């Protein structure tokens, strides 16, 4: 069955395991080999076997992963990169030109903000931050004729705000812009932005897609073949591609995405209930909670609410730092989306670079990336750390 047929006929879990690769015709290998080769023998000048000539342009291990992630996002074409930011930079250069403008989240991932603010702006792409949970705020920030991209994360990091993808697709398209959705926090198992009108999906595959904190990578997925052409050209011209071993790891992670995500969500729900009842916790931020301002939109566009949650502690920054230091099953560290639970203090860690700007986060905020360990152990660990 071709990737397209898999996509049309199979459930998500089946696609996760089978899309993008057929067992190797010569050896029968059921898993894509790691094609550690830079070049390919040609049968006479220009006589390519299977279309491969040089591994910056294409490599079979990368092709398999790119087909699989495209199928899971219900897109036509996938592209794998050396990191999430490499994917973002390639996308921006492929679609924008100096003199144009982008709307970005006012609580964007710090690295994305830095890319727009310190790299793309120097190149000539202007940007305006807007609250992407409010389509009218995004509409007000759009400059018709000038805005090329409306860039959205949902849920956002670390405040887990929710953007209404369908509404923002209309806002972007009415202004002649494209909607880009960073789907890193949700993963394609929980949310498929292309089916809601987005033009491009971005991933840091370092997170839930890879899922084991053992690889840094990025991906783009599109439906439109003209966009695909532009990205293909820039992926090859800029060269920030995923290598074969990284592609193999990201692809291996993808196969278990559905079961991992369900466990991440189960554990997050258990922790939310525990934290809500704890006297040292002043607020729990999780889109699955009915009081979360984005809950209704999340319920509409997400299968479940994810493995990320944030909470604020009574006692300010000192208490938050103390909780982070005392957790033991939760590892103190940046990043997210791996099988192991992580705890971090956004104000001093992931979001330190936005201190003093409009993106600053509360000092008493703690962010959890809830892993797939036993929920009882995670609860006991936080109970100890909060006491």
- Start-to-end CA distance of the chain, whole Å, equals 56
Residue choice 83, 191, 192, 301 for contact with ligand PLP (CB under 6 A): 83
Q: How far is the CB of 209 from ligand PLP (least distance, A)?
A: 10
Site track 104-143 with ligand PLP (rule: CB under 6 A), x = hit: -----x-xx-------------------------------
Segment 9 to 68, residues that bind ligand PLP, using CB under 6 A:
none
Rounded to whole angstroms, how far apart are CA atoms 155 and 163?
A: 7
Contacting residue, 64, 70, 85, 342, with ligand PLP by CB under 6 A: 85
Of 156 and 267, nearer to ligand PLP (C-beta) is 156
| Nearest to ligand PLP of 210, 386 (CB atom) | 210
Cα gap 309→292, rounded to integer Å: 12
Minimum distance from CB of 294 to ligand PLP (Å)?
16
Distance CA 338, CA 134 (A): 30
Residue 134 · residue 109 · CB < 8 Å: no
Q: How far is the CB of 157 from ligand PLP (least distance, A)?
A: 5
Secondary structure tally for the chain: helices H, strands E: 15, 12
- Cα Rg for the chain, rounded, in angstroms? 21
Q: Is 183 in the site for ligand PLP (CB under 6 A)?
A: no
Report the C-alpha gap between 379 and 387 in whole angstroms.
Answer: 12
**157 is a site residue for ligand PLP (CB under 6 A):** yes
Q: Does 154 interact with ligand PLP (rule: CB under 6 A)?
A: no
| Contact flag: residue 102 with ligand PLP (CB under 6 A) | no
Rule CB under 6 A: choose which of 59, 191, 192, 206 binds ligand PLP: 206
181-189, 256-264, 306-314, 323-331 -> range binding ligand PLP (CB under 6 A): 181-189
Q: CB burial class (10 A; 0-12, 13-18, 19+) of residue 323?
A: buried
Q: Which of residues 232-291 bind ligand PLP (CB under 6 A)?
A: none
On whether the CB atoms of residues 89 and 137 are closer than 8 A, the answer is no
Token pair of 297 as six digits = 């939109």
Catalytic residues: 56, 109, 182, 207
Q: Which is nearer to ligand PLP, 307 or 379 (CB)?
A: 307
Q: In angstroms, rounded to a whole number, what is the distance separating the alpha carbons of residues 224 and 264? A: 32
**Helix axes of 316-326 and 375-386: crossing angle, nearest 10 degrees:** 140
Q: How far is CA 255 from CA 273, 329, 386, in A?
A: 30, 26, 36
Interface positions, 298-327, toward ligand PLP (CB under 6 A): none
Residues that bind ligand PLP (CB under 6 A): 83-85, 109, 111-112, 153, 157, 182, 184-185, 204, 206, 216, 218
């Amino acid at each position: 069955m071709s990737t397209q047929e898999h996509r049309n006929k199979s459930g998500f879990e089946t696609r996760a395991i089978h899309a993008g690769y057929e067992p190797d015709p010569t050896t029968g290998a059921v898993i894509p080999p790691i094609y550690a080769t830079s070049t390919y023998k040609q049968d006479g000048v220009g006589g390519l076997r299977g279309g491969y000539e040089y591994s910056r342009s294409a490599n079979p291990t990368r092709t398999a992963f790119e087909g699989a992630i495209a199928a899971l996002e219900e897109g036509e074409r996938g592209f794998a990169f050396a990191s999430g930011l490499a994917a973002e930079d390639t996308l921006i250069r492929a679609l924008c030109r100096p003199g144009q403008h982008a709307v970005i989240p006012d609580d964007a991932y710090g690295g994305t903000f830095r890319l727009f603010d310190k790299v793309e702006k120097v190149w000539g792409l202007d940007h305006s931050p807007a609250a992407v949970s409010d389509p009218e705020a995004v509409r007000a920030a759009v400059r018709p004729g000038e805005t090329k991209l409306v860039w959205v994360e949902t849920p956002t990091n670390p405040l887990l705000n929710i953007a209404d993808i369908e509404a923002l697709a209309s806002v972007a398209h009415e202004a002649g812009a494209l909607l880009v959705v960073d789907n890193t926090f949700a993963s394609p198992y929980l949310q498929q932005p292309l089916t809601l009108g987005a033009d491009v999906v971005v991933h840091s595959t370092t997170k839930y897609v890879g899922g084991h904190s053992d690889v840094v990578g990025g991906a783009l997925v599109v439906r439109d073949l003209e966009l695909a052409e532009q990205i293909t050209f820039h992926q090859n011209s800029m060269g920030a591609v995923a290598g074969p071993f990284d592609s193999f790891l990201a692809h291996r992670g993808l196969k278990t995405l559905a079961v991992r995500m369900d466990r991440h969500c189960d554990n997050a729900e258990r922790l939310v209930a525990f934290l809500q009842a704890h006297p040292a916790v002043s607020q729990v931020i999780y889109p699955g909670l009915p009081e979360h301002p984005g809950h209704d939109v999340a319920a509409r566009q997400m299968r479940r609410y994810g493995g990320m949650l944030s909470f604020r502690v009574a006692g300010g920054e000192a208490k938050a730092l103390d909780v982070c230091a005392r957790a033991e099953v939760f590892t103190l560290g940046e990043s997210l989306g791996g099988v192991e639970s992580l705890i971090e203090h956004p104000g001093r860690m992931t979001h330190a670079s936005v201190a003093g700007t409009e993106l600053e986060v509360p000092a008493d905020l703690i962010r959890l990336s809830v892993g797939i360990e036993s929920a009882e152990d995670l609860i006991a660990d936080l109970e100890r750390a909060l006491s």
